[in-house]
A and B are shown apart, each in its own frame.
Chain A
Amino acid sequence: DVKVTQSSRYLVKRTGEKVFLECVQDMDHENMFWYRQDPGLGLRLIYFSYDVKMKEKGDIPEGYSVSREKKERFSLILESASTNQTSMYLCASTGQTEAFFGQGTRLTVV
């Protein structure tokens, strides 16, 4: 069974903290994505990566960075968390067809 695994389902962090969200896929996919999902706004692309050490900005990269040191792992980093980054974060990977998603990480910044 193919799998995309996000390290945490729920996180609570304080404003100003550095936050790491980890995502691992076991399908040997080249492409990996980080989205955030907010009520009524659908999925918005933060960053994506189409190869190891490669990264591209999505639609809303401000306040975020990413790391892809290994093909199977794509990390999202909030350098200094702010309350407006409270959201559901979804990781996905694709080969040549549909995207497979993780279960999501609900991050609350207080």
Chain B
Amino acid sequence: GESVGLHLPTLSVQEGDNSIINCAYSNSASDYFIWYKQESGKGPQFIIDIRSNMDKRQGQRVTVLLNKTVKHLSLQIAATQPGDSAVYFCAENIEGSNYQLIWGAGTKLIIKP
């Protein structure tokens, strides 16, 4: 039978430029959203989170935007550096689910020198 490969979405960005990684979620009852960064050979690490009563949150060089109308989440990384190369995952928590997160498939960010 035919096997179907699943390819990770990839974003390629010039060093120093801003990166925008997008994520769509499906559940209107999701009340908490998190972005994780996973470097090669390591477990995911927390970057930034946002609750559903907010539409924007800023950290150090990162900003998360939440658009509940279209169920869209984005992560913006300012002045992308080589150390930002990783796979980025968004995760959503459905209210009342005991923090059983629902994970996106991930986006691989590649930094061009």
Task: Please choose the segment from B4-12, B53-61, B62-70, B73-81 that sits at the chain A interface, where 4 or more of its residues have CB less than 8 A away.
Answer: B4-12
Supposing A98-B34, A98-B49 touch, asked if A104 and B103 sit within 8 A by C-beta, the answer is no
Chain B, residues 20-57, CB within 8 Å of chain A (1/0): the string is 00000000000000101000011111100100000000
A43 near B89 with CB under 8 A, answer yes
Task: Kindly name the residue among B43, B46, B100 whose own CB sees the greatest number of chain A CB atoms within 10 A.
Answer: B43
Contact partners of A31 in chain B: CB under 8 A: 98-99
8 A Cβ contacts from A69-110 to B: 90, 92, 94, 96-104
Return the contact of B43 from the options A40, A96, A103 (Cβ within 8 A).
A103
A103 CB contacts on chain B under 8 angstroms: 42-43
- Total chain A interface residues with beta-carbon distance under 8 A: 24
B82 at the interface (CB under 8 A from A): no
Q: Which residues of A contact B45 (CB under 8 A)?
A: 101
A42-B106, A43-B89 in contact; A99/B101 too (CB < 8 A)?
yes
A103 CB to nearest chain B CB (Å): 5
> In the complex, how many angstroms separate the beta carbon of A5 from the nearest chain B beta carbon?
11
For residue B13, CB closer than 8 A to chain A, the reply is: no
How many residue pairs bridge A and B at CB < 8 Å? 52
A99 / chain B contacts, CB cutoff of 8 Å: 34, 44, 46, 91, 99, 101
Q: Is the CB of B6 within 8 A of A43?
A: no
Determine the distance from Cα of A87 to Cα of B93 in the docked complex, in whole angstroms.
25
Quick one: given A42-B104, A100-B46, A103-B43, are A94 and B6 in contact (CB under 8 Å)? no
The interface residues of chain A lying within 8 Å CB-to-CB of B8 are 39-40
The 6 closest A-B pairs by CB, nearest first: A40-B6, A101-B43, A42-B105, A98-B46, A43-B103, A94-B99
Q: Which residues of A contact B (CB under 8 A)?
A: 4, 31, 33, 39-43, 45, 48, 50, 58, 90, 92, 94, 96-104
9 contacts between A and B (CB under 8 A): A31-B99, A33-B100, A40-B7, A41-B105, A42-B106, A90-B44, A98-B49, A99-B91, A104-B42
